[in-house]
């Protein structure tokens, strides 16, 4: 294991999971300081990981890439070790077809035969026992001797990204002393994770009346949601719908925030990486998968008989999210800011 020189890490697909995988990347870099660490991640997410000292190179792994194409590209790079973080059969097959000598991953979805070293996650009934995803990934890299177990994620802001962010702040009319609150109302997972626009508007108005500046942060395809919130708000806010921030700019913007109010989605984990306080509105997903580094995060969630369902669309009345009110969010924000 001490002789691994070229390591390939296939990252997960969701933004939040990529951030939660950074402790495992850090552990690999510390365990094999002389190795070249290459990360396979969606092209749109390269800016998310840019600047991390643990990464040597990033290669694009998009849905449009065919299995044989991915395997051929891996084989040409002659990796010694492949660390497969997603649980899909396809991601493990690509490393197997590429004939990477050592291939590690979780023995799930019928792919154990494609791996040279594997572990099975603990079970809870018919499903795997929920554990925080940073710990889940750290347990996997223990197979190659990584002993570090710090689950705190890390991201970096390059000098070029910081300079571009300053131009954005100037365009928004922000001054050095302005206290900026971020509201992230979207979720690419599905509508089941979404809170209500009029309630986000009420929270934004409350912060504006306290003298804060409020910025709506949305991703591609979420522009109509942001405009709906802006129409419902009585106070003026900064709406990024007309100029959606890419991930490399979202990092310094979130780092600048006093507080982030967000659905349970990727920006929540970016806030954790930069030690930014966050209030998280959680509905259909099991909180145990993200129960890490909660010292500056408040999760608002109510138990309902049908949850956690992990469905992308609610087939009932969305009761898990409907139970959360603006007063709950403002109370949680006040509590975390008082700390």
First-to-last alpha carbon distance for the chain, in angstroms, is: 45
**Residue 257 domain-assigned?**
yes
**Residue 1 domain-assigned?**
no
Can you give the length of the chain in residues? 339
What angle do helix axes 247-256 and 266-273 make, rounded to 10 degrees? 60
Phi, psi of 313 (to 5 degrees): -125, 135
Q: Domain containing 129 — which CATH number?
A: 3.40.50.2000
**Residue 168 domain-assigned?**
yes
Phi, psi of 223 (to 5 degrees): -60, -45
Q: Is 163 buried (19+), middle (13-18) or exposed (0-12) by CB count in 10 A?
A: exposed
Instruction: Give yes or no: residues 134 and 165 share one domain.
Output: no
Q: Is 3 buried (19+), middle (13-18) or exposed (0-12) by CB count in 10 A?
A: exposed
Tokens 């051929």 belong to residue? 72
Instruction: Give yes or no: residues 198 and 318 share one domain.
Output: yes
Instruction: Give yes or no: residues 330 and 218 share one domain.
Output: yes
Are residues 194 and 186 in contact, defined by beta-carbon separation less than 8 angstroms?
Answer: yes
Alpha helices in 57-178, H assignment, sequence order: 67-77, 89-97, 133-141, 159-172
Task: Produce one character per residue of 224-247: b if its CB has 16 or more CB atoms within 10 Å, e if not.
Answer: ebbbbbbebbeeebbbbbeebbbb
**Residue 150 domain-assigned?**
no
Instruction: Give yes or no: residues 175 and 118 share one domain.
Output: no
Instruction: Give yes or no: residues 139 and 238 share one domain.
Output: no
- Domain span at residue 310 reads 159-338
Q: Which two tokens stand for residue 229?
A: 């919130």
Instruction: Give yes or no: residues 166 and 124 share one domain.
Output: no
**Residue 149 domain-assigned?**
no
Are residues 105 and 136 in contact, defined by beta-carbon separation less than 8 angstroms?
Answer: no
- What is the DSSP-derived secondary structure letter of residue 22? H
Cβ neighbours of residue 317 closer than 8 Å, sequence gap 6 or more: none
Query: What pLDDT does residue 76 have?
Result: 95
Which DSSP string corresponds to 193-243? G---HHHHHHHHHHHHHTT-EEEE---TT-HHHHHHHHHH-SS--EEGGGS
Instruction: Give yes or no: residues 125 and 35 share one domain.
Output: yes
Instruction: Give yes or no: residues 243 and 288 share one domain.
Output: yes
Instruction: Give yes or no: residues 34 and 133 share one domain.
Output: yes
**Domain final residue, candidates 111, 144, 177:** 144
**Domain final residue, candidates 109, 144, 179:** 144
Instruction: Give yes or no: residues 58 and 174 share one domain.
Output: no
For residues 289 and 15, give the distance between their C-alpha atoms in angstroms, rounded to a whole number: 15
Query: What pLDDT does residue 146 have?
Result: 94
Instruction: Give yes or no: residues 169 and 130 share one domain.
Output: no
**Residue 154 domain-assigned?**
no
Instruction: Give yes or no: residues 139 and 167 share one domain.
Output: no
**Residue 63 domain-assigned?**
yes
Digit-by-digit pLDDT tens for the chain (339 residues) are 557 999 999 999 999 999 999 999 999 999 999 999 999 999 999 999 999 999 999 999 887 778 999 999 999 999 999 999 999 999 999 999 999 999 999 999 999 999 999 999 998 888 889 999 999 999 999 999 998 789 999 999 999 999 999 999 999 999 989 999 999 999 888 899 999 999 999 999 999 999 999 999 999 999 999 999 999 999 999 999 999 999 999 999 999 999 999 999 999 999 999 999 999 999 999 999 999 999 999 999 999 999 999 999 999 999 999 999 999 999 999 999 887
Query: What pLDDT does residue 11 have?
Result: 97
Sign of the Cα torsion 170, 176, 181, 182 reads positive
Are residues 15 and 48 in contact, defined by beta-carbon separation less than 8 angstroms?
Answer: yes
Query: What pLDDT does residue 139 have?
Result: 96
- What is the DSSP-derived secondary structure letter of residue 142? G
Give me the number of domains the chain comprises.
Answer: 2
For residues 132 and 292, give the distance between their C-alpha atoms in angstroms, rounded to a whole number: 6
**Domain final residue, candidates 112, 144, 176:** 144
Query: What pLDDT does residue 2 have?
Result: 59
Dihedral angle, C-alpha 88, 122, 150, 217, nearest 10 °: 50
Query: What pLDDT does residue 264 have?
Result: 95
**Residue 36 domain-assigned?**
yes
Sign of the Cα torsion 200, 201, 204, 209 reads negative
For residues 62 and 220, give the distance between their C-alpha atoms in angstroms, rounded to a whole number: 17
Query: What pLDDT does residue 153 have?
Result: 97
Q: Which two tokens stand for residue 141?
A: 């890299």
């Amino acid at each position: 294991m001490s002789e691994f020189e070229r390591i390939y890490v296939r990252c997960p697909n969701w933004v939040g999971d990529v951030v939660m995988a950074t402790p495992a990347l850090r552990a690999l870099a510390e365990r094999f300081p002389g190795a070249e660490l290459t990360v396979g991640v969606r092209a749109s997410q390269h800016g998310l990981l840019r600047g991390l000292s643990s990464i040597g190179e990033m290669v694009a792994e998009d849905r449009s890439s065919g299995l044989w194409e991915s395997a051929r590209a891996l084989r040409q790079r002659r990796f010694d070790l492949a660390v497969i973080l997603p649980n899909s059969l396809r991601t493990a097959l690509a490393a197997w077809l590429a004939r990477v000598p050592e291939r590690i991953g979780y023995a799930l979805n019928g792919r154990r035969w494609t791996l040279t070293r594997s572990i099975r996650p603990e079970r809870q009934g018919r499903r795997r026992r929920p554990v925080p995803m940073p710990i889940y990934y750290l347990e996997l890299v223990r197979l190659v001797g990584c002993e570090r177990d710090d689950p705190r994620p890390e991201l970096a802001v390059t000098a070029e990204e910081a300079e571009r962010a300053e131009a954005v702040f100037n365009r928004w009319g922000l001054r050095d002393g302005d206290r900026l609150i971020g509201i992230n109302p979207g979720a690419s997972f599905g509508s089941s994770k979404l809170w209500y626009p009029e309630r986000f508007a009420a929270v934004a108005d409350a912060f504006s009346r306290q003298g804060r500046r409020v910025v709506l942060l949305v991703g591609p395809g979420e522009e109509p949601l942001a405009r709906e919130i802006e129409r419902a708000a009585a106070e003026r806010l900064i709406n990024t719908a007309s100029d959606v921030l890419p991930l490399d700019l979202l990092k310094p913007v979130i780092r600048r925030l006093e507080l982030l109010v967000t659905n349970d989605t990727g920006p929540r984990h970016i806030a954790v990486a930069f030690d930014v306080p966050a209030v998280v509105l959680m509905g259909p997903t099991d909180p145990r998968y993200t129960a890490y580094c909660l010292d500056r995060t408040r999760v608002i969630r109510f138990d309902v008989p049908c949850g956690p369902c992990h469905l992308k669309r609610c087939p009932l009345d969305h009761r898990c999210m409907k139970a959360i009110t603006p007063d709950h969010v403002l109370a949680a924000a006040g509590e975390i800011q008082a700390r």
